[in-house]
Amino acid sequence: MTAEIREIPFDAQTAQVVFRVQWFGVIPVTGRFTSLHGQLSMPREGLDGATVSIDVDAASIESGIALRDRHLRGPRFLDSSRFPFISFRSTRITPNDGAVHVEGMLSLRGVEQVVAFHCLVRSPAGNGSGDTLSLAATLQVSRRHFGVGKPRGVLAYSPLFSAIADVVRVDARVSVPAIRALPALLPALGR
């Protein structure tokens, strides 16, 4: 007998992706992506066979400064005209010590890398009885590995590029209807 799979779509109304990177080692630069879509697929019971996919519109980046946003969308950073999406596809999802461990492939600027992270599952009410569940994950990404902000030629000597930290912190949060995600996520809620 095949397990029933529940498809739970999400977009920028029910999910957010934000980033934070240090500039000159002390100044935090933060921003978000305003356009994304994805899907969480999970069996009714347990996480065996569960998957998550997300496509973030690279051109939707907003950092609060229009000139910086144009640079971030441009060819030296996200190159959103050539690579319109930052994508993640899970390869394995397992319960892990009151959370969910997720492994998968991150694709950015045409470069793919295997990544892994923990996803915390919380109920806004705090007791697992709310209408929605919040799935939150933090991922540390090397921008240089993906060629983001990697200067070439004479620009390699520009202090602007060396002032940006290599590690970018990415926080993602998705709200899903509890009735669609339970009971598969009960172990992540400590039940």
List all residues 6 or more positions away from 189 whose beta carbon is below 8 Å from its beta carbon: 98, 121, 122, 123, 128, 133
Cα 111 off chain centre by: 16
Over residues 180-188, mean pLDDT? 71
pLDDT for the residue numbered 189: 64
Q: Would you place residue 11 in the very low, low, confident or very high pLDDT band (cuts 50, 70, 90)? A: very high
Q: What is the mean pLDDT of the chain?
A: 87
Is residue 161 over pLDDT 50?
A: yes
Decide: 69 and 75 in contact? Cβ < 8 Å: no
The CATH classification number of 5-189 equals 2.40.128.110
161: its two tokens = 């590029």
Please state the rounded mean pLDDT for residues 95-100: 84
Tell me which of 41-45, 67-71, 89-93, 181-185 is least confident.
Answer: 181-185
**Whether pLDDT at 29 is above 70:** yes
Q: Which amino acid is at 183?
A: P
Q: Where are the domains of the chain?
A: 5-189
Whether 184 has a pLDDT exceeding 60, the answer reads yes
Are 47 and 189 within 8 A, CB to CB?
no
Indicate whether 37 pLDDT > 70: yes
Residue 183 has pLDDT above 80, yes or no: no
